Chains A and B, each alone.
Chain A
Amino acid sequence: MPNNIATVLSRQDTWRGHSQRLPRRAITTGHNNLDLLLQGGWPISALTELMPQQPGIGELSLLLPTLKYYADNNQLCVWLDPPYQPYSPRLAAADIALDKLLVVRSKNHAEWLWAAEQSIRSGALLLAWTKQPPPRYADLRKLQLAAADSGNAAFLFSAPSALSAPSPAAMRLELKGMEVNQLLLTVRKQRGVAGGACLQLSLGEANTQRTDLALLPADRHRTYPIQQLNN
């Protein structure tokens, strides 16, 4: 429990009347358009839920600048139950210190929840992937409260089916792939703003060229998305 008035006032969710409203605390996403849409960037002291329609559309690339920011700050980034193994050369190419990343595998739901809450409360950046069956509302609320206390951003990757269920997360984003390197973000929930805003985000050069199998080899890799991402 917060034990003095300063702690209470420094919290983001303390209402102090409009005139004394604290600026919304957020951390930049690394994409100007997205920062505008999210009113400054990823909310800190809150849980952000990302619901990609399928893996591979660029949902993790969105968070690379945030990962780098935390790793440069000497803070640990915990990946809880990622669906695949992170590929180190790509992370190293994005200048993320690998020793700041920690991959955690949980054996059951109780462990998953404990590890997630512990990570948030210990000042680490949490990227958690939900498993089937999806976590209950009360469990997610625990994580949201932990994030509110800790002052760190926390990200939850849920299946698109989670969209129909309510969530205590401060922000919910639906991610859809449009084209190669083109991502359609739909804000499903955001504090103080009605949901439904959309943004088409370019994560790199849209490459429309397709090559038939019979005509291989195709052009050598013409584009290099990493360099464009870093811009």
Chain B
Amino acid sequence: MLRPDRKSAQPDIWLYLHFPLLPLETLLPQVPTEQVQKPIAIVNLQKNIQRVLCCNTQAAAWGIEPNLSISTALALCPELEVLPRQVEQEQQLLQQLALLAYSFSPVVILNNSEVWLEISGCQQLFKGYDALLQELENRLRYQSITAVNGIGQNPLTAKLLCGSKFETQLPDQTEIQHRLLNTELSLLETNRKQQQSFKQLGLNTVGDLLALPRSALSCRFDSELMLTIAQLNNEKPFVAPYFQPANTFRDLIQNPQGIFNKESLLFPMKTLLQRLCQYLMARQCHCREIEWHFEPLIGESQQMQIQLSGSQNNWSTLLMLSRLQLERLELPRSIEQIILHADQFIEAPMGVFNLDLFDNQQTAQQSCELIDSLNARLGIDALSQPILNQDYLPEQASTLATPGKHSSTGINGKSKAPQPLWLLTDPAPVHLRNKKLYWRQPLTIISGPERLCGNWWQAEQQRDYYLACDSNGARYWLFRETSSQRWFVHGLFS
């Protein structure tokens, strides 16, 4: 993928991030707290032998180091806690880390377990490169991720210069060049045959290699190395697709010990919502709906959907709504896994930073939040909105519907006849006593009729509507069915 046109005057600054303890740090949150202080090693199957991939400092103190076989490691340290590597979870964590990097720079490359950032355009936003690097280190440390970095003018240089600690000072161009030339050639990723030829030629550092004439090198080495050299010299670009946040959000937190009450669910839910909001921020959008899955070890999982009448990118509001809805939910006894899923997004509306002077936006936002919280606590069945339909029969002209789902279609052809404010959902039959109408009290007709017909395609309804009142002056909306001549109350003029 080619980079869009940019000012060529400013040289690129590539930052390479390496996470040496990633397999361990993926699994650490799931380790019970009392075991975290014990020696732990992550093992991986290599050529049919389980070998140590990485270990924590407690294990390193026992002499455990990467590439030891599992039996040697256990012989060295009998108490060693051995955990198998979880590649899938590692990839998820890498996606999260790439998302974090994406909030620092729009140019992020995620290639297997390597992350690169191009930060030359981000100096102003973070008030200097050193501040940017410092902030990045803080954010990574907050997520308890160990990272080391390398800085160079191109991705390959950055990777070659990756040291053993996180640098927060940006080296200048000559410093970078100097370091590159002194880098050992054994760090260059090539096959063994080529490494051997380097030795035979007496080439020890990258500087030695680059000092040789290009034509001589091309006779001796394959095109792959020539490409690497061209890339190190900034002559050819490093081709890799840029990282883009995924189209849907799905994240989970596992808790092998199980969560037994709703209060302790809230903490992992908060973490997940914060990740969602980081994702929303990166994509500059708001979500319209989120979905929770609570999965127990045994049995059916429980789902909870939170629909928003507006849109939202604020984790505390989402947490409040989730909490309200959670109160109504019957949960499995012990929950092992919490999944948060969101796939309905809209572009972030303007003025999300509360910069607008007029609070019109704010009242609309308040209304949406009120509907959402009522919805979360009382359930969607408890809420409705009156709707005007294009129909003649009153009970069909005026219906109730779920808020925000329908819009009024009726044209308000102002009827000449008076209309009531209350409608009885089921018309109440009126009795006739001494040739007088009676419903709760004796009623007398004031005016009428207005004939309304409808529903002719099914059972035809023909009604004569009258206005009636009782002795206290309360007014009623009566109708007489022309077919049966029976009287009904259909509304009250409140």
B142-150, B192-200, B337-345, B382-390 - interface stretch? B382-390
Shortest distance between the CB of B131 and any CB in chain A (Å): 33
Q: A54-B474, A177-B473 given as contacts; is B419 within 8 A of A207 (CB)?
A: no
Q: Is A98 a contact of B447 with CB atoms below 8 Å?
A: no
- A156 → chain B closest CB, angstroms: 15
B133 to A: closest C-beta gap in Å: 38
Nearest to A84 among chain B residues (CB) is B422
Contact B386 A221 (CB under 8 A): no
Residues of A within 8 A of B448 (CB): 216-218, 220-221
Complex CA distance for A114 and B416, rounded to whole angstroms: 41
Query: Whose C-beta in chain B lies nearest to the C-beta of A83?
Result: B422
> Which residues on A sit within 8 Å (CB–CB) of B464?
217
Whole-angstrom CA separation of A115 from B377 in the bound complex: 9
**Given A60-B494, A85-B425, A86-B421: A76 touches B370 (CB 8 Å cut-off):** yes
Taking A61-B421, A88-B408, A224-B418 as contacts, is the C-beta distance between A179 and B473 under 8 angstroms? yes
- Residue among B363, B421, B422 with max Cβ neighbours from chain A (10 Å): B421
Q: Which of A54, A105, A182, A210 contacts B444 (CB 8 A)?
A: A210
- A-B contact list, 22 entries, CB within 8 Å: A56-B475, A60-B421, A74-B367, A76-B367, A84-B425, A84-B492, A85-B422, A85-B423, A86-B422, A89-B388, A89-B412, A92-B412, A101-B385, A102-B403, A119-B370, A122-B367, A122-B369, A124-B366, A220-B449, A221-B417, A222-B447, A223-B418
**A32 touches B (CB below 8 Å):** no
* Given known A56-B493, A75-B363, contact A124–B370 (CB-CB < 8 A): yes
What are the residues of chain A within 8 A of B445 when measuring CB–CB? 210-213, 216, 218
Instruction: Kindly state the interface size class of chain A when it binds its partner.
Output: 35 or more
Give the A-binding residues of B (Cβ under 8 A).
360, 363-364, 366-367, 369-371, 373-374, 377-378, 381-388, 394, 397-400, 403, 407-408, 410, 412, 414-425, 435-437, 444-450, 464, 466-467, 469-470, 472-476, 491-494
Using A57-B475, A74-B367, A85-B425 as known contacts, list a sample of 10 further A-B pairs with CB atoms less than 8 Å apart, ordered by residue number in A: A85-B423, A87-B394, A92-B408, A123-B370, A177-B473, A183-B473, A213-B437, A218-B446, A221-B418, A224-B416
A87 touches B420 (CB 8 A): yes
Tell me which residues from 86 to 138 in chain A have a Cβ below 8 Å from any Cβ of chain B.
86-93, 98-107, 111, 114-115, 118-119, 122-124
Of the candidates A61, A85, A100, A177, the one whose C-beta lies within 8 Å of that of B400 is A85
Contact check, B447 vs A99: say whether CB atoms are below 8 A apart: no
Complexed CA–CA distance, A7 and B38 (Å): 55
Which residues of B lie under 8 Å from residue A93 when comparing CB positions? 412, 414-415, 419
Closest to A124 in B: B370
